[in-house]
Amino acid sequence: MGAKTPNILLKLAGISVEFQERVALRHIDLNVEQQEIVAVIGPNGAGKTTLFNVICGQVKPSSGTIHFDGRDITRWSSHRICHQGIARTFQIARPFPQMSTRQNILMGLWFGAGKPYGSPAAQARAEELLELVDLSPKVDLPAKELTLSEQRRLEIARALATNPRFLLLDEVAAGLSPHAIKEMAELIKTLRQQGLTLLLTDHFLTLTSKVSDRLVALDQGEIIMEGKPDQVLQSADVISAYLGERNQERS
């Protein structure tokens, strides 16, 4: 147990999370390999965001272990986990609204990588990240004036500013146009080519089949199926989990 296994970067074993009476995750076993793109899908309330919170140390599991690159990080603080190389974006983008796009990224570099705010090294890295997420023309705009798609890319750049090896993107496609989703898919593939491993959530299933190597379907805190995207999206159990959600919303 806990030994470093070749190619497995993240390993969850028997992870459960409880909030008061409610079980949000139940005995989750999940491995993610180096440079893999895995998407966690499932209806509203399935436990996708909680899974991210527990990996990043923002929520502590009631049982189970999390290993990252062979180290047991289960009880580590979120700050220490970030420094170990795990970064995330949030379901609702949270840029500093009054600051410019560039300043937002400089803040990320300052907090995450300890690069002094505005130093030449930080400036150079900020320009690189802005180009990578295609925001170079928007550097001086206050973040609040960016479109939703641009705000999401800014969040990704800010997460990348902490120099992660593992990136978690929560509902990164929600609310985006088909064109913006295509661009996001390209960005995700580029990030993988640069050596990153990615875990995404995708409630509306708009991005997953375009980029993911593997899908993990969650329902009511449990993994009900995992495998290749086509296989999982055609599964009767997965379809019925989504239809169940629709019925609940109607009632």
Ligand X SMILES: Nc1ncnc2c1ncn2[C@@H]1O[C@H](COP(=O)(O)OP(=O)(O)O)[C@@H](O)[C@H]1O
Q: Which residues bind ligand X (CB under 6 A)?
A: 19, 22, 24, 42, 44-50
Residue 205 CB, shortest distance to Mg ion, in Å, is 14
Count CA atoms within 13 Å of residue 121 on its CB side: 7
Select the binding partner of residue 179 from Mg ion, ligand X, none (C-beta < 5 to 8 A, by kind): none
Contact 56, 31 (CB under 8 A): no
Q: Strand order in 86-89's β-sheet? A: 86-89, 166-169, 197-201, 37-41, 214-219, 222-227
Q: In the block, which residue shows the tokens 């499932």?
A: 42
Q: Which is nearer to Mg ion, 122 or 155 (CB)?
A: 155
Q: Which is nearer to Mg ion, 106 or 200 (CB)?
A: 200
Contact 211, 179 (CB under 8 A): no
Residue 224 CB, shortest distance to ligand X, in Å, is 13
Residue of 50, 52, 35, 89 lying closest to 211 (CA atoms): 35
Alpha-carbon span 146 to 41, nearest angstrom: 27
Q: Which of residues 210-249 bind Mg ion (CB under 5 A)?
A: none
Helix (H, G, I), strand (E, B) or coil at 15: strand
State the number of binding residues for Mg ion (CB under 5 A). 3
Select the binding partner of residue 42 from Mg ion, ligand X, none (C-beta < 5 to 8 A, by kind): ligand X
Q: Which is nearer to Mg ion, 48 or 125 (CB)?
A: 48
- Contact region for Mg ion (CB under 5 A) — 32-40, 83-91, 138-146, 175-183? 83-91
Residue 40 CB, shortest distance to ligand X, in Å, is 8
Contacts of 5 (CB under 8 A, 6+ apart): 11, 70
Residue 21 CB, shortest distance to ligand X, in Å, is 10
Count CB-CB contacts under 10 A for residue 69: 16
Determine the Cα angle at 4 with ends 221 and 86, to 5°: 55
Residue 135 CB, shortest distance to ligand X, in Å, is 27
Told to check if 49 binds Mg ion by CB under 5 A, we report: yes
Residue number, nearest CB to Mg ion:
49
Select the binding partner of residue 119 from ligand X, Mg ion, none (C-beta < 5 to 8 A, by kind): none
- Contact region for Mg ion (CB under 5 A) — 48-56, 139-147, 191-199, 231-239? 48-56
Alpha-carbon span 22 to 139, nearest angstrom: 44
Residue 168 CB, shortest distance to ligand X, in Å, is 12
Residues that bind Mg ion (CB under 5 A): 48-49, 91
